[in-house]
Each structure stands twice: as C-alpha cells, then as structure tokens.
C-alpha cells in the first residue's frame, strides 16, 4: 500500500482516516512503512498520523530522546491534537514515554511495543561493522523471530543507512542517548492506561524488560505476541492489530 507523505512547516508525515487520533512513532532504524498494517486496518475507524522523526536532520549536539519528544510536541501543537493515543515501537516508545511525562494532558492512552527506556541491546553489544553486508544482514535478522521477515530490500536499506557517515554518527548518538536516559524512577508518574504489546522472542528489548515496564507503569496491561521479535506490528500484524483493537475498545468502555 502506497502512502502519501505530506510536507508542511518543516514536518513530514502520513495521515489517513478520520476519527479519534492514533499517533504512531517509529523506531531508530524504523520507517513509516513499519506501521503499514496498522494504517491499513485502523484508518477505517481512526485518524492515523505518523510523523517522521528528524533523527538525521537535528544538529548533532542537540540530538537525543528528549529533543525528539520536543519535536513531537511541536508537531502535536501544529496539528492541534488533543485526547489521543500515542503508539511507539523501540525508540518511538521511549519518545512516547518522555512525551507522556511532559504533556499528560494531551494523551488518553499509550501503546508500547519493544520500547527502549529501561534496557535495549540495539547492536548486540558491538559497533556496527559498516562495510560488512553479512554482519548487517545478521543484525537485521536478529530483530525478528523469523529471519525471513528481514527482506533483502530491508537489509539493503539499513546497509545503505549505516554506510552513510552523516547518518551513522547520528544513529549512534541517538542510541547512546536512549541507553543513558533510563526511566525506571519516573514511570510511576505516568497515570494513563498503557498497553504493552510485546514480542515473546524479542532479543533487543527482551521479555523481562516488558515485565519490568508492567511492574513500574501504574495502569498497564502486558500481552505477548508469540513467535515474534522486536517489531510485532511488522512480524505478526494480525495479532498485533487484534490486541491493539482490544485495548482501544477497552479504554472506550
């Protein structure tokens, strides 16, 4: 499915459907396409919006998870969004958590999938070997339960990204910012309902991370997606969408 990326006032984003707002935030190596199946399913009944996070555009000295949260707030104000649900995968989840801390009045709920904020193992503990295609392929496959989910197109895209010096410097700076910014002591302040929809086989933010989020977030529900790694909305889209629909209906009730 092809989506039109709108460009306005320095923002790039996708917007589909009408109704209550679902704001989707992608991960560090993620893209708007990661949410393709969510857009297809939920834009029938919701207004689904995905801003492109400016990981490669922000000045290196100011780059970090807090800066991305401020960018999201500027976007939310520009679009005049109120009383919405924010969904975040990986780094996007981390940004959503910081946003929820700073602007609770804007949100009615949150969904996290493979979120950073407590712990993540982004590059398997090692610096990405930029020249090695086989290493990048292995790391991309590591993201999923089923290595076949890592298509050649996806591996090629990430290989090109990590071999772009401008981009890899920013990716590593952002990854370090996420690791340094541990939210364990702050999560009790987030009072909105939170759905944790987690891949049971996530190797980047493993299951124990989801359990810790569930313990620390006051109003959270944890559901597992079987045979699934770090990006459940890509790898098991039907199950992810089912669990998301259940959560959205529950908070409406």
Q: What is the pLDDT of residues 100-130, one digit of tens each?
A: 999 999 999 999 999 999 986 654 444 556 6
Distances (CA, A) of 146 to 41, 50, 52, 191, 235: 23, 26, 27, 35, 8
Tokens matching residue 231 = 């990006």
Q: How confident is the model at residue 1 (pLDDT cuts 50, 70, 90)?
A: low
**Residues 39-51 pLDDT 10s:** 999 999 999 999 9
> Given a cut of 60, is residue 64 above it in pLDDT?
yes
In 3D space, the residue among 24, 26, 6, 2 whose CA is nearest the CA of residue 14 turns out to be 6
Mean pLDDT of 178-201: 96
Average pLDDT score over residue span 63-70: 95
Q: What is the pTM of this model?
A: 0.94
At 253 the pLDDT is 75
**Distance of alpha carbon 115 from alpha carbon 156, whole angstroms:** 24
């Amino acid at each position: 499915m092809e989506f039109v990326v709108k460009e306005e006032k320095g923002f790039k984003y996708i917007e589909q459907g009408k109704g209550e707002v679902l704001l989707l935030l992608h991960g560090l190596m993620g893209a708007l396409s990661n949410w393709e199946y969510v857009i297809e399913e939920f834009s029938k009944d919701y207004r689904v919006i995905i801003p492109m996070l400016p990981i490669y555009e922000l000045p290196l000295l100011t780059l970090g998870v807090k800066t991305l949260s401020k960018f999201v707030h500027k976007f939310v104000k520009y679009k005049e969004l109120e009383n919405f649900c924010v969904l975040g995968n990986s780094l996007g989840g981390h940004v959503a958590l910081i946003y929820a801390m700073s602007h609770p009045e804007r949100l009615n709920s949150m969904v996290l999938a493979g979120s950073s904020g407590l712990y993540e193992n982004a590059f398997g503990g090692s610096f990405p070997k930029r020249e090695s295609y086989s290493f990048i392929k292995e790391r991309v496959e590591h993201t999923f339960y089923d290595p076949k989910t890592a298509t050649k197109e996806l591996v090629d895209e990430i290989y090109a990204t990590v071999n772009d010096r401008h981009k890899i410097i920013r990716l590593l700076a952002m990854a370090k910012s996420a690791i340094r910014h541990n939210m364990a002591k702050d999560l009790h302040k987030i009072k909105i309902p939170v759905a944790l929809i987690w891949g049971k086989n996530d190797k980047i933010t493993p299951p124990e991370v989801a359990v810790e989020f569930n313990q620390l977030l006051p109003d959270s529900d944890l559901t597992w997606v079987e045979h699934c790694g770090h990006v459940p909305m890509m790898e098991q889209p039907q199950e992810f969408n089912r669990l998301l629909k259940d959560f959205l209906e529950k908070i409406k009730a």
